[in-house]
């Protein structure tokens, strides 16, 4: 009896259903679109700047907003599903 109780205590909890996970509540930009934004920002940040995507989200109009960091300089990029970069701007400090 005691061993059954011990085994029950070691059983991992049941994972949440996929529709309950935080990751499914926000659509992120596909990796290739994030890289297109990073490449576009590199042209603005400077030839030696290493630009990395730090966050992304789908916008209400179906495009994606991608946050970028270029060696401490923050940029914001808008890209559509076709891979067209609509804008790259220095991020507004909040």
**What's the CATH number where 73 sits?**
3.10.450
Whether residue 59 lies inside any domain: the answer is yes
Residues 33, 53: Cα–Cα separation, whole Å: 10
Whether residue 80 lies inside any domain: the answer is yes
Total number of domains in the chain:
1
Q: Read off the pLDDT band of 73 (50, 70, 90).
A: very high
Burial of 74 (0-12, 13-18, 19+ CB in 10 A): middle
Give me the mean pLDDT over the 4-30 stretch. 61
Rounded to two decimals, what is the model's pTM? 0.70
**Token pair 């576009």: residue:** 40
Whether residue 6 lies inside any domain: the answer is no
pLDDT score of 20 more than 80: no
> In this predicted structure, which of 23-27, 44-48, 50-54 has the lowest mean pLDDT?
23-27
């Amino acid at each position: 009896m005691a061993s059954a109780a011990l085994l029950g205590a070691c059983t991992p909890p049941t994972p949440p259903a996929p529709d309950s996970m935080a990751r499914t509540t926000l659509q992120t930009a596909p990796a290739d679109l994030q890289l297109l934004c990073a490449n576009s920002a590199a042209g603005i940040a400077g030839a030696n700047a290493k630009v990395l995507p730090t966050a992304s989200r789908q916008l209400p109009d179906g495009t994606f907003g991608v946050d970028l960091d270029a060696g401490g300089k923050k940029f914001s990029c808008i890209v559509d599903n076709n891979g067209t970069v609509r804008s790259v701007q220095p991020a507004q400090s909040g």
